[in-house]
Amino acid sequence: MRPDQLSNDILDVFNGVCYVVAADRTIKSIGPTNWDRFCAESQAADLGVERVLGRNLFDFTEGEEVKAGIRAVLDRLDSGEAAEWVMPYRCDTPRLKRNMRLSISAICEGQAVTGYLFQSVLLGSETRPPVDLFKFDSLSARIEGLKDRTFVLMCNWCQRVKPRDAPDQPFVEGPEYYRRGGDPSAAVFHTVCPDCKSKEAEGFVKR
């Protein structure tokens, strides 16, 4: 199968948010209905389908450790050692805690990997008091004047956080960060926490 055989219309009937990435890491197709709905719910309406199609996957991936982890997953799928990679993750909004599952599956034509199907499925959600750290739409405004900002590392997968200048502190949930006196206007930088690095390595499904 070629990536272009999974069109936007076909992906639109799949469960969850689905998109196809070609072997050169270009986003080739997207299930538009669920994508646009999820972006609107996530206060990221500016990431509509038309803006994303044809762009490189890593144009929309923040954090060098996050990029390195995803590249390692795609490389392992390319090698044929695994057919799929599955990762539980969080994708929160200020008022909503969302537990999700991401799967990345190799698209093959014969023995050659020609692309990847990304599928994110919502497993459950719950409301909570607002947590400003998850106002990602205002991230660019926070980053202006960085020398005057507090820096916070946020795990891309579990979305726990820690101050960047406190390497010995553990990653904690956003509300706990506030209880410990954290700055709600901190600039957020994405990384991968030690627990989730272990899960990354365990997520492969063999052929």
pLDDT tens digits, 151-187:
899 999 999 999 988 888 999 999 899 898 888 778 8
Q: Determine the 3-state secondary structure of 159 from DSSP.
A: coil
Residue 89: strand, helix, or coil:
strand
Confidence of residue 142 (pLDDT cuts 50, 70, 90): very low
* Predicted TM-score of the model (pTM): 0.90
Which token pair is 193?
Answer: 């926490």
Look up tokens 């909004």; give the residue: 93
The continuous run of DSSP H or E covering 31 comes out as none
Quote the pLDDT of residue 149.
64
Calculate mean pLDDT across residues 117-137. Answer: 88
The SS3 of residue 6 is: coil
Question: Is the separation of the CB atoms in 4 and 114 below 8 Å?
Answer: no
148 — pLDDT class (breaks 50, 70, 90) = low
Which of the four pLDDT bands, split at 50, 70 and 90, describes residue 5?
A: confident
Angle, CA 118 vertex, CA 116 and CA 119 arms, to 5°: 145
Residue intervals of the chain classified under CATH 3.30.450.20 are 3-128
∠ CA 95-101-106, nearest 5°, is 145
Residue of 160, 96, 95, 105 lying closest to 130 (CA atoms): 95
Mean pLDDT in residue range 111-119 = 95
**CATH class of residue range 3-128:** alpha beta
Using left for φ > 0, alpha for ψ between -120 and 50, and beta otherwise, residue 63 falls in left
Using CA atoms, how far apart are residues 43 and 71, in angstroms rounded to an integer?
Answer: 27
Tell me the C-alpha distance between 164 and 196, whole Å.
17
| Pairing of the two strands 187-191 and 151-155 | parallel
